[in-house]
A = this chain, B = another copy of it.
Amino acid sequence: MTRTTPSSPVGLHRVLEPAGVLPQAARRLDAGPDLWPDEIRIRVERLNLDAASFRQLSEKHHGDGDAVRAEVLAIITERGKMQNPVTGSGGMLVGTVEEVGPKAHLDFVPGDQITTLVSLSLTPLQITDDLRRWDGRSEQVPCDGTAILFGRTIAAKVPDDLPADLSMAVMDVAGAPALTARVVRRYVADDRPPTVAVVGGAGKSGSLSLAAARQAGATRTVGVVPTQAEVDLLAGVGLADEVVLADARDPVNLSTAVHQALGTPADVTVVCVDVPGCEHGAILATNPDGGTVIFFSMATSFTAAALGAEGLAADVTMLVGNGYTPGHAEEAFELLRTVAGVRQLFERRLAHGGAA
């Protein structure tokens, strides 16, 4: 059944409250399966909760998977979308196209397997199996249900040559390598090929960002990780020129580690760790005379970043990590195909239930 009231390409017609905000800012969405003419309905197979959200839920419930599952189900039922009320973040999903509205723009047909390229925090979602196949202990949530793509929502077909869970894990963070590459290329174009530090270099967005930085022309890359096990892991796959151990929440520790690895502060620092309190270390680790910090962590505090840089008299450009850059999905898939170290880290992560 197709609905006949007017629809908005950005989904305003699905917002139940408060009126007038975009779906991402809404408290509740209409997640009903009947389509407006420009929408597409997806049969959902799996959710991928974003790292900051899953960590918050897991810590809140002390690792009790049943409690985590119950809370995720309650959130989706109440809000009509999966948006962690503490972190504000969501994740994304993989599923199969079930119905395409007559005025939908995306070139999909029923049966296509796709991943969304927008956050679950704005995607209308209904769960029909009570998440009973999920143990609450991993970011990847097998499930049955329906989700809606608006007229302007973007999504990507799962490539034939990649497993669906791998595709979804990559798509969740596809914005990071694309924006990192763009920033590095800008420095290269200005005749200042940059050094690049990636904080959280062994994680999903971090490993992709390291690979993208190198391909885009970084002169030297350093991956920062929080444990010796991750040092060994990241060093073993050869994605970074240097791998260093540091606590990203300790500004002096982090900046000293980067300075020592590179001999100078980094020209570009990419923050990919999902814990709060990394802003000041990242700024201190970065060239205070024209460096750039890209914040991809959903745990980033805007105020801490803005006032921290000012307090340090650091002339650094600070970017909010936009999850969308044109072509980002294909670029990320290509990194997964062509850079062995990236694929090794992703497959290892999936085998371990999504943990970093």
Task: List residues of A whose CB falls within 8 A of some B CB.
Answer: 10, 12, 20-25, 87-90, 117-119, 121-122, 152-154, 175, 250-253, 277, 280, 284, 295, 298, 300-326
A24 in contact with B304 given A252-B12, A310-B119, A323-B309 (CB within 8 Å): yes
* A260 to B97 CA separation, bound complex (whole angstroms): 37
Instruction: Determine which residue in A10, A277, A306, A309 has the highest number of CB atoms from chain B within 10 A of its CB, and name it.
Output: A306
| Cross-chain contact A24 with B280 (CB below 8 angstroms) | yes
A324 in contact with B298 given A25-B280, A280-B22, A303-B87 (CB within 8 Å): no
The residue that A175 contacts in the complex, of B119, B304, B310, with Cβ under 8 A, is B310
The residue that A277 contacts in the complex, of B21, B298, B305, with Cβ under 8 A, is B21
| Cross-chain contact A310 with B295 (CB below 8 angstroms) | no
Residues of B contacting A121 in the complex (Cβ-Cβ under 8 angstroms): 307, 311
Further pairs besides A152-B312, A306-B323: 6, Cβ < 8 Å: A25-B304, A88-B304, A122-B311, A295-B302, A302-B302, A309-B320
Residues of B contacting A318 in the complex (Cβ-Cβ under 8 angstroms): 319-320, 322
With both chains docked as a complex, state the minimum distance between the C-beta of A295 and any C-beta of chain B, in angstroms: 7
| Cross-chain contact A251 with B317 (CB below 8 angstroms) | no
* A152 to B253 CA separation, bound complex (whole angstroms): 19
The residue that A323 contacts in the complex, of B277, B310, B320, with Cβ under 8 A, is B310
* A118 to B306 CA separation, bound complex (whole angstroms): 11
With both chains docked as a complex, state the minimum distance between the C-beta of A26 and any C-beta of chain B, in angstroms: 10
* A320 to B309 CA separation, bound complex (whole angstroms): 10
